[in-house]
Amino acid sequence: MSEEAAILWQDILDLVMGGRVSNLACPFCQKGQIQVTKLARTTRLECPSCRQFIEGAFQDSMETDSPDPLVITKEGQ
């Protein structure tokens, strides 16, 4: 993931980690509302307008020593 893309996603990821999963404007196109899909421990955030997305696995802080609770697995191009 490029540094620019990571910066754009960071605010959205912070909101999702804080429990907000609706009314999230796309940080790339500003046209679409980010759709948040959760399946088990994997969360996918995607803009239906520009198709940018990011997927990650939220980790319980009790299960890992990692200071970052979100492990990014891939992103949209």
Return d(Cα 10, Cα 29) in angstroms, integer: 15
Res 24: pLDDT? 94
* Helix, coil or strand: residue 44: strand
Res 60: pLDDT? 46
Domain extents in the chain:
3-75
To the nearest 10°, the Cα dihedral for 32, 6, 20, 43? 90
| 35-39, strands of its sheet edge to edge | 35-39, 42-46, 53-58, 70-75
Tens of pLDDT along 5-24?
989 999 999 998 888 889 99
Res 47: pLDDT? 95
Q: Report residue 35 as tokens.
A: 């759709």
Task: Report the predicted TM-score, pTM, of the whole model to 2 decimal places.
Answer: 0.69
Res 58: pLDDT? 64
Q: Report residue 75 as tokens.
A: 């992103």
